[in-house]
Amino acid sequence: MFKVAALYKFHSIENPLSVRHMLKSNLDNNLVTGTILIGKEGLNGTISASIKDIKKAISIIKSIKGFDDINIKYSKSKIKPFTRLKVKTKEEIVTIGDKKLDPSINSGIYVEPKDWNSFIAKDDVLLIDTRNNYEYSIGTFKNSINPRTNNFREFPNWVKSQKFSNKDKKTKKVAMFCTGGIRCEKATSYMKKEGFKNVFHLKGGVLKYFEDITTDQSKWIGECFVFDDRVSLDHNLDEGSYDMCHGCRMPITKQDKESKYFIKGVSCPACFASKTDEQKSRYMSRQKQIDLAKSRNENHIGPK
């Protein structure tokens, strides 16, 4: 069994390269896998290891100045959800396309998971899912608005397309959520920059909501997409029912896999027609290498 930690904090980092070097030097690539992004605005990542090794890794991350209280959500996985550890520096640790935003200084008001149900039930609350369209498609909160974005960078354009009036910005209560809390926190910073006065977000995101709220009290419908090999989680934070098309990286159902357009590691009904013969040939070759590695009880790492 592997322990998975999704973590982030918006906090100024003077020298991201120095922090990257420290983490690369102190985290054992053979024991800890996942991705950690470091930028001047903070740190964002999801890592996995045994319970013993995840504790060591979290201790190392918390030793970074200002990150002793970093936001962490835990879940578990029967399979190894990542193949290797990647530690990268980025201009934005979650990309919205506006480098001037600073959620550590100006962001919305946290709503604790225990207060979320009653808060979003209010008639004057506009509930917005800040995740991508394919994430929304497999699960979301009842009555939430889907901006139909393909990536988080498209969120500002969606907000502008709604043509909110000055009155809307002053009077509407906007509540936003995402998987682990980082996207909705940055989204609140953007909304406040755009003049919205009453902006709120789910503290810890959907993962923390699943952790704190029992299934019988839940207002969540469906499963929650996660960016690792588990693909989705149910309300008990167990691996869900979805698989992933490795041709387009979209979640797929058991029914999708029964389609004649589903080719393992190559395509699914949604992307089969858009893939060229050259792409399909390349993906088939990659899948053969993956299958060969599995038959040898090895991990297929692929290109870095």
Active centre residues (catalytic): 178
Give the integer Cα–Cα distance in Å for 157 and 163. Answer: 10
Query: The tokens 């704190």 sit on which residue?
Result: 212
Give the integer Cα–Cα distance in Å for 118 and 114. Answer: 9
Token pair of 67 as six digits: 């990150």
Length of the chain, in residues = 304
Token pair of 261 as six digits: 């357009």
